Amino acid sequence: MLAFQEKRQMLRRAIYIFFTITSALLMTGCNSFLVSETEINQEVEKLLAEPQSNQISLLVEGNALDIDLVVKKADVDLTARDGGLVLVDLDTNLEGVLTAFGQKISISASVEPSFESGVRIEEDRLYLTSPRITEVKVQGTSFTDKMLSSALGSVHGELEKALVKYFDTHPVYILNHSPFEKTAASLVKDIIIKEDTIELSIF
Instruction: Dump pLDDT digits (tens) for 90-147.
Output: 999 999 998 877 888 899 999 999 999 999 999 899 999 999 999 999 988 788 888 8
Note whether 53 and 66 are same-domain residues.
Answer: yes
23, pLDDT greater than 70? no
Q: Is the pTM of this model over 0.85?
A: no
Note whether 42 and 22 are same-domain residues.
Answer: no
What's the CA angle centered on 52, arms 48 and 55, to 5 degrees? 80
Note whether 115 and 22 are same-domain residues.
Answer: no
What does the pLDDT read at residue 178?
82
Cα–Cα distance between 124 and 46 in angstroms, integer?
17
Helix (H) / strand (E) containing 136: strand 125-139
Q: Is 179 part of a structural domain of the chain?
A: no
Radius of gyration of the chain (CA): 21
The tally of domains found in the chain comes to: 2
10, pLDDT greater than 80? no
Instruction: Identify the domain containing residue 70 by its residue range.
Output: 35-174
Q: Is 74 part of a structural domain of the chain?
A: yes
Report DSSP letters for 145-174, one per residue.
Answer: HHHHHHHHHT-HHHHHHHHHHHHTTS-SEE
Note whether 149 and 54 are same-domain residues.
Answer: yes
151, pLDDT greater than 80? yes
Q: pLDDT band for position 181 (50/70/90)?
A: confident
Note whether 20 and 60 are same-domain residues.
Answer: no
Note whether 14 and 95 are same-domain residues.
Answer: no
Q: Is 197 part of a structural domain of the chain?
A: no
How many helical (H) and strand (E) elements, i.e. helices and strands, does the chain have?
5, 9
Note whether 40 and 25 are same-domain residues.
Answer: no
Q: Is 39 part of a structural domain of the chain?
A: yes
| Burial per residue of 91-102, b for 16 or more beta-carbon CB atoms within 10 angstroms, e otherwise | bbebebebeeee
Note whether 136 and 66 are same-domain residues.
Answer: yes
Note whether 60 and 136 are same-domain residues.
Answer: yes
What does the pLDDT read at residue 30?
62
Query: Using CA atoms in the order 46, 47, 49, 50, what is the torsion angle rounded to 10 degrees?
Result: 120
